[in-house]
Amino acid sequence: MNSKLSLQMTLLGLAVLAFYAGLLVTGRVSVEVLPQFAVSAVIFLCSGRIMRQMAAKLPERDKEEAEEKPEPDWALRTLILNWVAAAAIVGVVAIFLVKPAGMTFAELARFFLYTDFAPEITIPFAP
């Protein structure tokens, strides 16, 4: 796990270097910010190497501990995913049904923000 993370950090460092080089080549940033970019890219590259060295120094885990992981309940996870997807779809459809035809989504959002849906109701006390 740690070796995978170190590889990902190294790849992230290379991606950061490529991104910063692209910014410099296109002229989006000036050379004045290069030291900050270089330092952050070097930190990513070095952190991957440091993590790899730390992973090599850690003691090996027992294979029995790795085998004791319980099997996930895929039926329950699938059921939850289906309900969440159905709720998201119903929510999106409800937004389209509530929005009048001539109103934009920005106007609808402003309407909901500035509308008081629960006005104060005063109830007189009994004598």
| Confidence check: pLDDT of 3 > 70 | no
* ∠ CA 52-56-60, rounded to 5°: 130
pLDDT value, residue 2 = 57
Task: Report whether pLDDT(81) > 90.
Answer: yes
Tell me how far apart the alpha carbons of residues 123 and 127 are, in angstroms, rounded to a whole number.
12
pLDDT in tens, 8-61: 877 887 888 888 888 888 888 777 877 887 788 788 778 777 877 777 787 776
Give the whole-angstrom CA distance, residue 21 versus residue 65.
45
Is the pLDDT at 95 greater than 80? The verdict is yes
Residue 78 resides in a domain: no
Structural domain includes residue 24: yes
The predicted pLDDT at position 112 comes to 82
Asked if residue 43 and residue 12 are part of one domain, the reply reads yes
Distance of alpha carbon 38 from alpha carbon 32, whole angstroms: 11
Question: How does pLDDT run across 67-78, given as a tens digit for each residue?
Answer: 677 888 999 999
Q: Is residue 76 part of a domain?
A: no
The answer to whether residues 12 and 49 belong to one domain is yes
pLDDT band of 64, cuts 50, 70, 90: low
DSSP for residue 31: G
Residue whose C-alpha is closest to residue 36's, from 23, 55, 49, 25: 23
- pLDDT range class, residue 111, cuts 50, 70, 90: confident
According to the model, what pLDDT value does residue 21 have? 83
* Domain membership flag for residue 47: yes
Print the domain residue range for 53: 2-61
Residue 45 makes CB contacts below 8 A (sequence gap 6+) with 9, 10, 13, 14, 17
